[in-house]
Amino acid sequence: MHHGNGTQDCFYDDSTVFFCSTHASPLYPGTGGEGEVGVEDGYGTTLNLPLPYRTGDMGFVQLYDKVLLPAVRRYSPEMILVSAGYDAHWDDPLGPLSLSITGYGMLTQRLMALADELCGGRIVFVLEGGYSLPALAGGVVATLQTMLGRSTVDDPLGPANTAEPDLTTLIRRTLDRHPIF
């Protein structure tokens, strides 16, 4: 899962769009550092969360609950657009992150609840990347099942079974330094 550099570039100076990217770092294209927060009118409306390799379900949930969801609440959007990339799955041959299909379902639940809370349920998922066909298919199905109200999703690939890195420092730095907090 790489940084959403093209989307960031489109809205970097625009205060009407809050952009957040969770991505592996270091990784192509080498952008998406914590200090990239927007410029001019858009200052503070970009939030980059560069993740260490092997970040999986536990790390993503912690990051969403402590950083991403509170930031979106502070911005209070009219709609949430999600670049739904499934290349953060542990089975993806190009991505160094470790989400499971179950993890994608948990994140989708959080985003849908946030959309219900803030913007009348207005949320759009746009299919992005994914290079393991079983993980891509499973992730898309998990997202759709969650959107349809299923509380559990089928995960034929199971968890990553790797130790996850500690995100405490990234979370603390982000909360201490990002203008939205």
Backbone angles phi, psi at 79, to 5 degrees: -155, 150
Among residues 66, 11, 71, the alpha carbon closest in space to that of 36 is found at 11
The reported pLDDT for the residue numbered 174 is 98
Among residues 99, 82, 111, the alpha carbon closest in space to that of 162 is found at 99
Between CA 174 and CA 155 the distance in angstroms is 32
The reported pLDDT for the residue numbered 131 is 96
The reported pLDDT for the residue numbered 72 is 98
The reported pLDDT for the residue numbered 21 is 97
Q: Which residues of the chain have pLDDT under 70?
A: none
Residue 150: partners with Cβ closer than 8 Å, 6 or more residues away: none
The answer, yes or no, to whether the previous bond of 165 is cis (omega within 30 of 0) is no
H-state helical runs in 19-177: 57-63, 69-75, 101-119, 133-147, 168-177
**pTM for this prediction:** 0.95
The reported pLDDT for the residue numbered 152 is 86
The answer, yes or no, to whether the previous bond of 70 is cis (omega within 30 of 0) is no
Burial zone of 44 (CB within 10 Å; 0-12 exposed, 13-18 middle, 19+ buried): middle
The reported pLDDT for the residue numbered 48 is 98
The answer, yes or no, to whether the previous bond of 26 is cis (omega within 30 of 0) is yes
- Computed over every residue of the chain, the mean pLDDT equals 96
- Give the angle subtended at the CA of 61 by the CAs of 26 and 5, to the nearest 5°: 35
The reported pLDDT for the residue numbered 76 is 96
- Could you say which DSSP state residue 151 is in? S
Residue 75: partners with Cβ closer than 8 Å, 6 or more residues away: 18, 45, 180
Among residues 160, 172, 31, 167, the alpha carbon closest in space to that of 97 is found at 160
